[in-house]
Amino acid sequence: MSAELLNVVDVEATCWDGPVPPGAANEIIEIGLTVVDLTTRQRVAKHRILVRPKRSTVSRFCTELTGLTQQEVDRGLGFAEACRLLAVEHQGWERPWASWGDYDRLQFARQCQATGAAYPFGTRHTNAKAVFAAANGLRRRPGMAQALELAGLPLEGRHHRGEDDAWNIAALVLGLAEQENWPMAG
| pLDDT tens digits, 39-57 | 999 999 999 999 999 999 9
151 pLDDT more than 70: yes
Note whether residue 53 is domain-resident: yes
Terminal alpha carbon distance of the chain? 15
Task: Classify residue 22 as exposed, middle or buried by CB count within 10 Å of its CB (0-12, 13-18, 19+).
Answer: exposed
186 pLDDT more than 90: no
- When the pLDDT of each residue in the chain is averaged and rounded to a whole number, the result is 96
Note whether residue 186 is domain-resident: no
Q: What is the mean pLDDT of residues 15-38?
A: 96
**Residue 56 belongs to domain with CATH number:** 3.30.420.10
* Distance between CA atoms of residues 186 and 144, nearest Å: 26
Note whether residue 184 is domain-resident: no
In 3D space, the residue among 92, 102, 109, 113 whose CA is nearest the CA of residue 141 turns out to be: 102
Q: How many domains does the chain have?
A: 1
pLDDT at 52: 98
pLDDT at 3: 78
Note whether residue 183 is domain-resident: no
What pLDDT, in 10s, does the model give residues 101-143?
Answer: 999 999 999 999 999 999 999 999 999 999 999 999 999 999 9
pLDDT at 185: 56
Question: What is the residue range of 111's domain?
Answer: 5-178
